[in-house]
């Protein structure tokens, strides 16, 4: 048991969920390494949702509400960190949820789908179609999901697949704490925030925006420039480091 008053309680609980995910064959070992990289960036962003992330989260939700076939792609990390919230977001924006992993095995995919089902989320995972041009297992998709999606939300994406999704004409929304990653630079909208804060925030935005007209939603999406967001995120890191320098 992690004591509630531990100064790094939140971070330790998150790690514990991922370790448990590995024990249950849901999260890949490599997912722990990916999380470590994310945590390091979170640390130098001040471990809170910044303005540039809020802006991207709102635009992302508006894009999903406008989409014809929005899909939320779930891997072994996202499945254990925010299963309930993924279901809530999917329901409000009317998106399909699809299991899609980098380290593939049929068993792991089924375990992720079973885990999501416990939270009331029925996820696609047929693996009956392939994204051409991609050699990793991320190419294996569902004919009813990512294959036909126009907008894909991909928390913790890999740069290569992000590129291929774009080449297949899809709009990509990434959640990635590293504003320098290939994913962050390839995506149409990059949410530089921790997935454990970003998804609940998106659920809030979805509740707020769900009844807006298409025109109103379009005005939120138009003029959005992802390069500005990434530059603001880098600025945000610089600012945080400057302020940290003063307290040392």
Where along the sequence are the contacts to ligand ATP (CB under 6 A)?
34-35, 37-38, 41, 156, 158-159, 175-178, 181-183, 194-195
Residue ranges in the chain assigned as alpha helix (H):
9-23, 29-43, 51-66, 76-81, 83-93, 106-118, 159-167, 182-186, 195-209, 214-221, 226-247
How far apart CA 182 and CA 230 sit, in angstroms, is 12
Output 49 or 73, the one with its CB closest to Mg ion. Answer: 73
Neighbours of 170 (CB within 10 A): 23
- Smallest gap from Cβ 80 to ligand ATP, in A, equals 11
Output 227 or 245, the one with its CB closest to ligand ATP. Answer: 227
- Smallest gap from Cβ 191 to Mg ion, in A, equals 17
In this structure, the strands spanning 70-74 and 140-141 are: unpaired
How far apart CA 182 and CA 186 sit, in angstroms, is 6
DSSP state of 98: E
- Smallest gap from Cβ 192 to Mg ion, in A, equals 16
Output 14 or 183, the one with its CB closest to Mg ion. Answer: 183
- Smallest gap from Cβ 222 to ligand ATP, in A, equals 26
- Select the residue whose beta carbon is closest to ligand ATP and give its number: 38
Restricting to residues 120-159, name those near Mg ion by CB under 5 A: 158-159
Instruction: For residue 191, give the nearest of 234, 230, 146 by alpha carbon.
Output: 230
Q: Does residue 163 touch Mg ion according to CB under 5 A?
A: no
Output 158 or 232, the one with its CB closest to ligand ATP. Answer: 158
Q: Which residues bind Mg ion (CB under 5 A)?
A: 158-159
């Amino acid at each position: 048991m992690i004591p509630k008053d531990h100064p790094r309680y939140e971070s330790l609980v998150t790690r514990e969920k991922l370790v448990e995910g590995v024990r249950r064959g849901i999260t890949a070992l490599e997912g722990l390494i990916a999380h470590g990289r994310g945590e390091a960036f979170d640390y130098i962003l001040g471990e809170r949702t910044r303005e540039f992330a809020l802006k991207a989260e709102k635009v992302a939700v508006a894009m999903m509400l406008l989409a014809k076939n929005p899909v939320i792609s779930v891997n072994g990390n996202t499945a254990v960190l925010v299963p309930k919230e993924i279901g809530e977001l999917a329901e409000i924006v009317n998106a399909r949820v699809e299991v899609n992993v980098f380290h593939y095995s049929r068993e792991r995919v089924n375990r992720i789908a079973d885990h999501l089902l416990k939270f009331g989320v029925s996820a696609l995972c047929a693996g009956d179609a392939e994204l051409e041009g991609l050699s990793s297992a991320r190419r294996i998709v569902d004919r009813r999901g990512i294959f036909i999606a126009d907008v894909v939300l991909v928390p913790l994406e890999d740069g290569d697949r992000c590129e291929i999704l774009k080449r297949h004409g899809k709009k990509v929304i990434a959640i990635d704490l590293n504003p320098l990653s290939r994913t962050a630079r390839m995506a149409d909208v990059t949410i530089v925030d921790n997935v454990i804060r970003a998804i609940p925030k998106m659920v809030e935005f979805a509740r707020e925006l769900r009844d807006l007209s298409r025109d109103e939603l379009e005005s939120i999406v138009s003029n959005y420039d992802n390069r500005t967001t990434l530059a603001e995120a880098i600025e945000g890191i610089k600012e945080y480091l400057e302020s940290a320098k003063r307290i040392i």
